[in-house]
Amino acid sequence: MSERRLMLLHYVTGIGILITGAVHLWVVFFTVPLDQTIWETTMLFDNHPFAILSVYRNALLASTLWLLLVFTTYHAMNGIRVILMELIPNRSFVSAIKWVLIALGLFLVVYGTRTILIAYNIR
């Protein structure tokens, strides 16, 4: 993929993080699935230990969370690539680290997706 596309995705995912992150925070702090917000029920674990699952059980919110995961992972991995490129300006190192970051990013997305799916299916 050309550098132009990599960086275009970097900017798009940055905006995506702002939007999906805002949705996530709004859900956690301002929605009241039970008798308190998710943040409050999570802090008072004894009262509603699984209140957070209400987020995962809503398909729209779970999708937003998944998008936040994908956007954050891409943005972070590409950001690390750019930092390492300037820190260690060696083409073969940069090429090698690129594959390490792709593998790490895929792992994070797969593991995070698994977590979201498991929580979504809990009844």
Partner 1 sequence: MEGKVVFTVFRHDPSAGERPRFVRYEVPYRSGMTVLDGLLYIKERIDHTLAIRYSCRMGICGSCGMKVNGLPRLACFTQVSELGRSIKVEPLPNHPLVRDLVTDFTAFFSKHRAVKPWLIRKDAEEQENPTRQYLQSDQELERYIQFSYCISCGLCYSACPVVTALPEFPGPQALAWLYRFYADSRDQGGRERLRLVDDATGIWRCHFAGSCSQVCPKGVDPALAIQLLRRAVLRG
Contact set with partner 1 (CB under 8 A): 2-4, 7-8, 82, 85-87, 89, 94
State the minimum distance, in angstroms, from the CB of residue 4 to partner 1: 5
- Please identify, using beta-carbon distances, which residue of 8 and 103 lies nearer to partner 1: 8
Q: What is the DSSP string of the chain?
A: --HHHHHHHHHHHHHHHHHHHHHHHHHHHH--SSSS-HHHHHHSTTT-TTTTHHHHTSHHHHHHHHHHHHHHHHHHHHHHHHHHHHHS--HHHHHHHHHHHHHHHHHHHHHHHHHHHHHHH--
State the minimum distance, in angstroms, from the CB of residue 10 to partner 1: 9
State the minimum distance, in angstroms, from the CB of residue 91 to partner 1: 8
- Please identify, using beta-carbon distances, which residue of 23 and 84 lies nearer to partner 1: 84
- Please identify, using beta-carbon distances, which residue of 94 and 116 lies nearer to partner 1: 94
State the minimum distance, in angstroms, from the CB of residue 21 to partner 1: 23
